[in-house]
Amino acid sequence: MSIDNSFQHLLAIKDLSREQIETIFRTADEFIQDTEIINDPRLRGIKVANLFYEPSTRTRLTFEIAAKSLAADSINLNIATSSAQKGESLIDTLQNLEAMGIKMFVIRHFANGAPQFFATHVKQGNSVINAGDGSHEHPTQALLDMATLRRYYGRDFSQFKVAIIGDVLHSRVARSQIYALKKLGTCDIRIIAPETLVPQDIESLEVKYFSDLREGLQGVNVILCLRLQKERMDKGLIPSEQEFFNLYGISKKSLNYAEKDAVVLHPGPVNRGVEIASDVINSSQSLILKQVTQGIAVRMAVMTLCQQKG
């Protein structure tokens, strides 16, 4: 019996099976040749709306490039000058955009569950992709992180020993990464952060917690750094950015605590000299720029698969 790996929406890693994640990876492979993105007109004539209620550069741009690479019509709604600033509700925004012929909605929102709300109200056949909601999830970021590791690191996920370092408290990326790693068979997942940047429900995530960087990095071969979410952070959670780097920053020195061939990833934008030193970012151990290219292919794959189902 064949397994249906398709989906109409992409709202959370928690919703996906391992088979669906692997289908996304295989589809993304079709859109990359060596290190170049391949144009493919699979979504010609489809209208895609990018609704970003929070600032974004990489995510918004890569979704826009992904849509254009698929020959879709991509529309960016400027929330700062849109009717949302005049009190228009999410449901009114959705219904008006659907009346304009929009078939796919890429939404980033400050409220947990906003993409899920959209998905329950779209017309049959239309799709919603979560580009990050509150502190809940950022599924395409985790998917592109995993796809980058799969493509460039050459190990089975069961062999990974992963450290996620930094502001886990405010990070939707960290949650999606943990869910994705677990679904793909990674058992050794560690959180390294000061106690002030660890969520109260850390035990529910079933990961190992370390407050000491050197101890946490022992034997690690994948380092996933997180951006300090300064825009969401209350004062006093860290003494200073310099102190954070001294204790938790990834430098050539701290890399020595991990395995020799350990790789470093970051969702961007990187605060150089705070989360990662510049010489590490520019080293062969960094996969950060590869993540950006891989992100376009993964988002092309997600958009293609959602519309196939829709």
Domains belonging to the chain, first-starting first, are 13-137+294-309 (3.40.50.1370), 154-286 (3.40.50.1370)
Task: List beta partners, residue 189.
Answer: 162
Residue 73, SS3?
A: strand
Q: What is the pLDDT of residue 83?
A: 52
pLDDT score recorded for residue 260: 94
CB atoms within 10 A of CB 111: 13
Sign of the alpha-carbon dihedral angle for 118, 4, 310, 140: positive
- φ, ψ at 135 (rounded to 5°): -105, 20
Radius of gyration of the chain (CA): 19
Q: What 8-state DSSP symbol labels residue 111?
A: S
Length of the chain equals: 310
Whether residue 233 is predicted with pLDDT greater than 70 in this model: the reply is: no
pLDDT at 240: 82
Residue whose structure tokens are 């790789």: 263
Predicted confidence at residue 229, as pLDDT, reads 74
Mean pLDDT, residues 112-140: 94
Per residue in 45-88, pLDDT tens?
999 999 998 888 889 999 999 999 999 999 998 675 555 554 56
Above pLDDT 70, what percent of the chain?
Answer: 92
Q: Tell me how far apart the alpha carbons of residues 69 and 242 are, in angstroms, rounded to a whole number.
A: 41
Distance CA 117, CA 13 (A): 17
- pLDDT surpassing 50 at residue 249: yes
State the pLDDT at residue 180.
Answer: 98
Q: What is the mean pLDDT of the chain?
A: 91
Instruction: Tell me what the mean pLDDT of segment 30-51 comes to.
Output: 94
The mean-pLDDT minimum among 27-31, 50-54, 185-189 falls in 50-54
For residue 241, what pLDDT is reported? 86
* Structure-model confidence comparison of residues 165 and 229, the more confident one: 165
Structure tokens given for 205? 């995530």
The pLDDT score that the predictor gives to residue 86 is 47
> What pLDDT, on a 0 to 100 scale, did the predictor assign at position 142?
98
Judge whether residue 35 has pLDDT over 70: yes
CB atoms within 10 A of CB 240: 9
Strand-pairing partners, residue 32, are 37
User: What is the dihedral angle through the alpha carbons of 74, 80, 82, 86, rounded to the nearest 10 degrees?
Assistant: 160
The answer to whether residue 236 scores a pLDDT higher than 80 is: no
